[in-house]
Amino acid sequence: MAVVAAMATTTFAQDDLVKEAKKLCSKGELEQAVTTITPALTSDQTEDKAEAWNVMSEIQYQIFMKGQEAEKANKENNTTTPYDTAAMHKAMVASLEAALKCDEYDRQPNEKGKVKIRFREANGRKFYMSRPFVISAGLYEYNNKNLEEAVKDWKLYIDSAEDPLFTGIDMSKDQYRSEVCYYIGLSAYNLKDYATATKYAEMAAQDSAKAKEAGEILLFAKRDGAKTKEDSLEYLAVVKDLHAKFPSETRYFNMLMDYYSKPGRQAEMKQWTEEEIAKDPNNKMTWALKGEAEMNTGKWDEAVASYKKAAEIDPTFVQVIFNAGVCLNQKAIELKDKLADKKTGGLTPENATKVKAILAEAKGYLEKSREIDPNREKVDWAYPLYQIYYNLGDNAKAAEMEKLVGNK
């Protein structure tokens, strides 16, 4: 009996705190009201948690309104009377959080198994109108370099729209949604929280007006957060999507180029360049990349053909002209090894003519490279030309190149 009596007293005491906090709130003693009600919010002895959280929400709302009134008075009177700006913003956030918690308890069945929601209608209406002040709270934290708090506040704004608190209210027409999602994504990215950045950037990208900016966040979050092969493929999909939507944006093309240029991706590079050429056959870089993929797999003729296409589009594209010469030189070396006599290593006159024809073609490309880039700022044509002159028996020019080799 003593234990039961003690429990009843404790329960009464906790619920009494709620009543006391309401009185303090009505008298404007708001900080004391918060201190008074706080133990009742989490105590197992509080019978009506929904009411307790509702009171907490109202107290915090009054703190917020007190700050709003001070701010309004300063504007109207052109004064600078100090007030606690941080407390005002934090109170708005705390008020909405408490209202959500109130609704969570309010929709739970009572001891008879029935649900009787008491606070939702009033709170739903109030926060439907005042919820945008949570954006201001996040902006306050953002401007004060508190990114984690800013993200927390803005997430509360976005996520609360899906809460049962707003049942029956059309939350779909939100002019701030995409902008807030964008800033959550940006701030989360800067915090290296790539999962959050990705989630909210994707939400922001649903708005065509924010699609490009949000896509940037999504892109870098996918790239920097990639840990597995699947993550890398997700990143690739994002870049491809952005490249398709904004084909004139060269950055996305360059990012794809960088991705496919990694070791072991020659086959993927070739397939991608063929897809790109089908869409735009006049892109010199795509032909150059296709040639590079073919060159790296020893497909000399295919590589030369691709490099020639790039040079046709831009006759000053010295890198592809040089690479065509290098490919032909390598082709000649391989043909010479293949046709050489197994014992003597020599070539028949007929076979020597075949090899020299390829070397002569290679010489033409490399000499063109020298003409375009005489100071070897973009390509170093000296050693390949030395090899060709030597193998063609042009001793004077070979000696000239030999002096340049190693001296740039």
What was the pLDDT predicted at 407? Answer: 64
Residues in the chain: 408
pLDDT band, very low/low/confident/very high, at 5 (cuts 50, 70, 90): very low
What was the pLDDT predicted at 344? Answer: 85
- Tens digit of pLDDT for each residue in 24-70? 999 999 999 999 999 999 998 898 999 999 999 999 999 999 999 99
- Tens digit of pLDDT for each residue in 296-353? 999 999 999 999 999 999 999 999 999 999 999 999 999 999 998 888 888 899 999 9
Residue closest to 370 by CA, chosen among 401, 328, 333, 406: 401
pLDDT band, very low/low/confident/very high, at 113 (cuts 50, 70, 90): confident
d(CA 236, CA 219): 9
Most confident range (mean pLDDT) of 4-13, 34-43, 242-251 is 34-43
Task: Quote the mean pLDDT of the chain.
Answer: 92
User: Can you tell me whether residue 374 is helix, strand or coil?
Assistant: coil
The stretch 236-240 carries a mean pLDDT of 91
Q: Which residue has better confidence, 113 or 108?
A: 108
What was the pLDDT predicted at 4? Answer: 39
What was the pLDDT predicted at 248? Answer: 85
Q: What DSSP line would sit under 240-279, residue for residue? A: HHHHHH-TT-HHHHHHHHHHHTSTT-HHHHHHHHHHHHHH
Give the distance, in angstroms, between the CA of residue 108 and the centroid of all CA atoms in the same chain. 39
Q: What values do phi and psi take at 227, rounded to 5?
A: -125, -25
pLDDT band, very low/low/confident/very high, at 7 (cuts 50, 70, 90): very low
What was the pLDDT predicted at 181? Answer: 98
The stretch 233-261 carries a mean pLDDT of 89
Question: Range with the lowest mean pLDDT among 16-30, 171-185, 197-211, 261-275?
Answer: 261-275
Q: What DSSP line would sit under 205-232, residue for residue? A: TTSTTTHHHHHHHHHHHHHHT--SHHHH
d(CA 17, CA 39): 8
What was the pLDDT predicted at 292? Answer: 92
- Tens digit of pLDDT for each residue in 12-28? 477 789 999 999 999 99
What was the pLDDT predicted at 200? Answer: 97
Identify residue 320 by its one-letter amino acid code.
Answer: V
Q: What DSSP line would sit under 51-63, residue for residue? A: HHHHHHHHHHHHH
The stretch 103-127 carries a mean pLDDT of 93
pLDDT band, very low/low/confident/very high, at 408 (cuts 50, 70, 90): low
What was the pLDDT predicted at 246? Answer: 86
Residue 301's alpha-carbon distances to 205, 297, 328, 329, 362, in angstroms, are 44, 11, 8, 11, 12
The stretch 128-147 carries a mean pLDDT of 97
pLDDT over 70 (residue 1): no
The stretch 79-104 carries a mean pLDDT of 96
d(CA 45, CA 52): 12
The label of the residue with tokens 């592809």 reads 320
pLDDT over 70 (residue 3): no
- Tens digit of pLDDT for each residue in 280-293? 999 999 999 999 99
- Tens digit of pLDDT for each residue in 169-194? 999 999 999 999 999 999 999 999 99
The stretch 140-144 carries a mean pLDDT of 97
User: Can you tell me whether residue 117 is helix, strand or coil?
Assistant: coil
